[in-house]
Protein backbone atom coordinates (compact mmCIF):
# COMPACT_ATOMS: atom_id res chain seq x y z
CA UNK A 1 0.00 0.00 0.00
CA UNK A 2 2.91 2.33 0.69
CA UNK A 3 4.06 1.99 -2.92
CA UNK A 4 0.65 3.07 -4.20
CA UNK A 5 0.69 6.10 -1.91
CA UNK A 6 4.23 6.94 -3.03
CA UNK A 7 3.25 6.69 -6.70
CA UNK A 8 0.19 8.90 -6.21
CA UNK A 9 2.22 11.43 -4.24
CA UNK A 10 4.89 11.50 -6.95
CA UNK A 11 2.25 11.99 -9.65
CA UNK A 12 0.49 14.81 -7.85
CA UNK A 13 3.79 16.52 -7.01
CA UNK A 14 5.01 16.30 -10.62
CA UNK A 15 1.69 16.39 -12.48
CA UNK A 16 2.57 19.21 -14.90
CA UNK A 17 5.88 17.64 -15.90
CA UNK A 18 4.40 14.16 -16.31
CA UNK A 19 1.46 15.39 -18.39
CA UNK A 20 3.74 17.55 -20.55
CA UNK A 21 6.01 14.58 -21.23
CA UNK A 22 3.00 12.40 -22.04
CA UNK A 23 1.71 15.03 -24.48
CA UNK A 24 5.14 15.20 -26.14
CA UNK A 25 5.25 11.41 -26.47
CA UNK A 26 1.72 11.33 -27.91
CA UNK A 27 2.61 14.02 -30.45
CA UNK A 28 5.72 12.07 -31.49
CA UNK A 29 3.70 8.86 -31.80
CA UNK A 30 1.13 10.68 -33.95
CA UNK A 31 3.90 12.10 -36.14
CA UNK A 32 5.51 8.70 -36.63
CA UNK A 33 2.16 7.08 -37.35
CA UNK A 34 1.36 9.72 -39.98
CA UNK A 35 4.80 9.27 -41.51
CA UNK A 36 4.42 5.48 -41.60
CA UNK A 37 0.94 5.51 -43.11
CA UNK A 38 1.42 8.39 -45.53
CA UNK A 39 1.68 7.49 -49.21
CA UNK A 40 5.24 7.62 -50.48
C-alpha to C-alpha distance for 38 and 31, rounded to whole angstroms: 10
Owning domain of residue 20: 2-37
Instruction: Dihedral sign for Cα 18, 23, 26, 28, please.
Output: negative
Mean pLDDT score, 18-28: 99
Number of structural domains in the chain: 1
Q: Global pTM? A: 0.70
Query: SS3 of 39, please?
Result: coil
Residue 15 has pLDDT above 80, yes or no: yes
Q: Calculate what percentage of the chain has a pLDDT beyond 90.
A: 90
Residues for the chain: how many in total? 40
Amino acid sequence: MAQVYAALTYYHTNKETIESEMADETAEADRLEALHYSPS
